Chains A and B, each alone.
Chain A
C-alpha cells in the first residue's frame, strides 16, 4: 500500500472516531445539562424529572425485577405482531398478485385503511378483541400489515415484464412464474420492508399498551402519567429508546445478512 493510501485510511479512521466521540459528547452533555438544570432548580424536576431520579427509578425497577417483565412483554408482543404481519402480508400480497381483479377491487379500501390514523380504532378494538394482549397485537397488525402488503405487492408488480414473457415462452404456469421469478426477484423489496415493518410494529405495540395493558413499556409510561410520576415516564421513554434502537439494529443486521 502506498504512503498516500495509508494516510487517507488513517484520516478516515480518525474521522470515524471523531464522529463517535462527538456523538458520545452530545449524549453526556445532554444528561449533564439536564441534571444541572434540575439540581439548580432552573427546571422543575417534578415535571421534567432528572437523570439521577431516572437512575433511581431504574434501579428500583431492576431490583424488583419489574423492568425485565415490562421489556419482555413489549418484546414478545413486538416479535409476535412482526412475524404475523410479515407472513400475512406476504401471503396476501401473493393472493392479490394472482388475482389482479381482486387487487383492483380492494385497492381504494387499502388506501383508506392505510391513511386512517389507526389509534382511532383503539376503543373498538378493545371492545371486540377484549382488554388483553390480543388487542395490542391487533393494533400493531393494523399498522404494520397494510404497509407490508403494499410494499411486497409493489415489489411483485415491479418485476421485469420481459422475464415473465420468457418464462411464459417456456410454457410456465402461474405457480412456476411465482416460484422461479416473482418471489426471488422481490426478495430485496421484502427484506427492505422488514425494517419499515419493525418500526411500524413497535409504534402499534406501544399504542396498544397505552390503550389496554397491565405490563409493558407502554404501560409503564401511561401508568407513570396517570399517577403523575414523571420519573417513571422518563425511565419508560429512555428504556423504549434503547429497546427500539437495539431491535432496529438487529433487523438491519438480518437485512444485510439476507441480501448478500
Chain B
C-alpha cells in the first residue's frame, strides 16, 4: 500500500521546572494513503503530543517523520470546536485560509460549497452560539477542510459532545472524510468509537508510550460508524483492545 506518512522513532520529553517527563518513548508508524488510522491509549499517554508534533505545533525530542508529498497541507481538529464567538460561522470557516493567505474567491466558493454539501448553508451568517454542539463540530471540520488538507489530524474531536451527538457527529465526520477521501489520523480513548470509524487501530502503551499493537479492522458489511457497531467482529476487537490497554479501574 501507498504510504503518505512515515514516522520514525519519535520520542518526546517534556521538561518542567523540576523534572523531565517522558511522554513518547518510541513511535514508528506508517500511515497509508486514504486510511483512517486511530491511535488508542489511556488518557495522558502522549497520543495528543504526537499529533501536535505532526501538526508542527510542537517538536519531537528525537526521531523524525516524513511525508511522501511535497509541502503537505495539514488539517488539525481539536477536542473542542474552538470557534471564535465574535465571527459568523462562515467567517470562522475562512480563518485557516485567511491565515495562510489563500483567501481567494475560488476558495471562498469552495467553502460555500462545503456548507451546502454538509447542510449548514442556512446557518452561514449565524454566530456559533446559535448552533448546537454537533453543528459547531461540523463547522470546525469545514474550517479544517477549507485549506484542502492532505492529511487530517483529529485530536479526540468528539470528546466535548454528549453521547447522542457524539454518535451522530462521528457518523457525519466519517462520511465527510470518506467522501473527500482524506488520510486521517485520529486520537481517541473510546475503543468503540475507534473500531467503528477506523481502517486500522494503533494501541499505545501507557506513558511513556510506544506502539503496543496494530489492528487491521475488518468488519462484515462495513458501512458507517453507527452500523459498524453491529458487526459480529466488533465485540472481539473491543475485548482484545481493552485487554491490550490494560486499564486498571
Residues of A within 8 A of B95 (CB): 167, 170, 180
Task: Check if B84 sits within 8 Å of A165, measured CB to CB.
Answer: no
Shortest A102–chain B CB gap in Å is 20
**Closest CB-CB distance, B201 to chain A, in whole Å?**
24
B86 interface hit (Cβ, 8 Å): yes
CB-CB under 8 A from A169, the residues of chain B are 55-57, 74, 76
Contact A166 B147 (CB under 8 A): no
Instruction: Tell me if A12 is interfacial: C-beta within 8 Å of chain B.
Output: no
Q: Are B99 and A163 in contact (CB under 8 A)?
A: no
Say if the beta carbon of A8 comes within 8 Å of chain B: no
Do A184 and B86 contact each other (CB < 8 Å), given the known contacts A162-B80, A168-B57, A170-B147?
Answer: yes
Beta-carbon contact of A171 and B82 below 8 Å: no
Is B222 an interface residue, CB under 8 A from the partner? no
User: Interface majority SS on A: helix, strand, loop or mixed?
Assistant: helix
* B contacts with A, residue count (CB < 8 A): 18
Cα separation A172 to B96 with both chains bound (whole Å) = 9
Interface size of A by Cβ–Cβ distance < 8 Å?
Answer: 17
Contact residue among A166, A176, A187 (Cβ-Cβ distance under 8 Å from B76): A166
Interface string of A174-197 (1 = CB under 8 A from B): 001000110011010000000000
B98 at interface (Cβ–Cβ under 8 A)? yes
- Chosen A-B contacts, 11 in total, with CB atoms closer than 8 Å, are A163-B84, A167-B95, A167-B99, A169-B55, A169-B56, A170-B96, A170-B99, A171-B99, A176-B99, A180-B95, A180-B99
Residues of B within 8 A of A (CB): 52, 55-57, 74, 76, 78-80, 82, 84, 86, 95-96, 98-100, 147
Give A residues with C-beta under 8 Å from B. 160, 162-163, 165-172, 176, 180-181, 184-185, 187
